[in-house]
Every structure is written in structure tokens, then in C-alpha cells.
Amino acid sequence: MGSVGLFAGCLGNDADRPDPISLEDGGNCDYCGMVLESHSGSKGQAFYGDDVPEAHDGPAWFCSGTCTYNYVFDQEDVGLEPTAIYLTDYSAVEYSLSSENGEAFISAHLTADVFSSVEDLAFAVGSDVYGAMGPDLVGFGDRADAEAFVDEHGGELYEHDDVSRELLSTLDNYRNH
């Protein structure tokens, strides 16, 4: 369906994966440049071992699930495979919703302990709840939490292997950088 299937097997086992880091010390999204701490919604991290494509140490970091996957797809296009990809696990936090201009936004969480491997998350996609880039992938480590979120806020459930460029392009916020 998409190119995620090409790198899904390359993420390695849990013992080989680097641990997620805290994103509380500031920084900009490595895909779109937005300041992480200034925006709501899911945050992401992608590790590339010695092939870190960015100028900073550690993983590439992102303001949204959408930016995370778009970046990973772009890196895959140039032959770089991630060793780990993490997104906010909304089953691991007490999230809140806020309203801005009539739209609902989900809270951001930046500490290392709130990130889970994308392989362990069920994603609510196309809900009426927004993140930094508008409609986004909202990940839950507990599938029942994801189902309850979709029941309340709409959208559909997807697994990591189902995320593709085509799926991302269906979101209103898809930006071609």
C-alpha cells in the first residue's frame, strides 16, 4: 500500500532500539520547522544510527505524526532506514482537548516516557481533533482507547503498516515540502 512496509522490518527488536528522548528542551520540527513546544498534538522521533540526516545529535524530532511519517518516507527515498520511530502514546498520558477558532486540539506531551514505538500504536486518523499540523494521526498503545477515541471524535483506525503517503495525503494538513 505504501512504503512503510519497506522499512517496517528494519526497525529492529526492542533490545536493539535506542530509547526515546525528552523533547522538552526546545527545538524545531525536522520536517516543517515548527517549534515543538509551541504547538499541540502528537510529537515524534526517528532514530537513524550513524546516518543521522540532520545536523543535531540524536533522533530527528517532529511536531506531529504527519511530519514524522513524511520525513521517514523522504529519508527512505534517499536510502536511509530508521532504527526506531516513536510517537506520543495517548494511552500513556492524561490528555486534554482545547478549543481554538472552533476546532478541538489535543494536548502535547514531550517527556521521554510518553513515547511508544509506532509498531505498538493504533492510530485514530481523520478525527475531528487536531494537532500541530491540523488533522493528524493520534496514537494509542491500548487499542480499546483508540476505539473509544474514534467513537467519540470520528475517524478510522489504522496500524503502522497501513500508514502510507496516500493516507497522509488525505489529511487536510498534508503539505508537500
- Distance, in Å, from the CA atom of 117 to the CA atom of 20, rounded to the nearest integer, reads 9
Q: What is 27-95 written as a DSSP string? A: -B-TTT--BGGGS-S--EEEE-GGG--SSSSS-EEESSHHHHHHHHHHHHHTT---SEEEEE-TTSS--
Q: What is 92-146 written as a DSSP string? A: SS---EEEETTEEEEPP--SGGGEEEGGG-EEEEEEEEEETTEEEEEEESSHHHH
Q: How confident is the model at residue 11, as a pLDDT?
A: 57
User: 105: domain range?
Assistant: 4-169
In a domain, 177, yes or no: no
In a domain, 59, yes or no: yes
27: left (phi over 0), alpha (psi -120 to 50) or beta: left
In a domain, 105, yes or no: yes
In a domain, 174, yes or no: no
Q: How confident is the model at residue 161, as a pLDDT?
A: 97
Total domains present in the chain: 1
In a domain, 131, yes or no: yes
What pTM value is reported for the model? 0.88
Mean pLDDT (10-residue bins), the chain, 177 residues: 42 75 89 93 91 71 96 93 96 96 95 98 95 93 98 96 94 46
In a domain, 176, yes or no: no
Residue 52 CB contacts under 8 Å (≥ 6 apart), including other chains: 58, 59, 60
Q: How confident is the model at residue 1, as a pLDDT?
A: 35
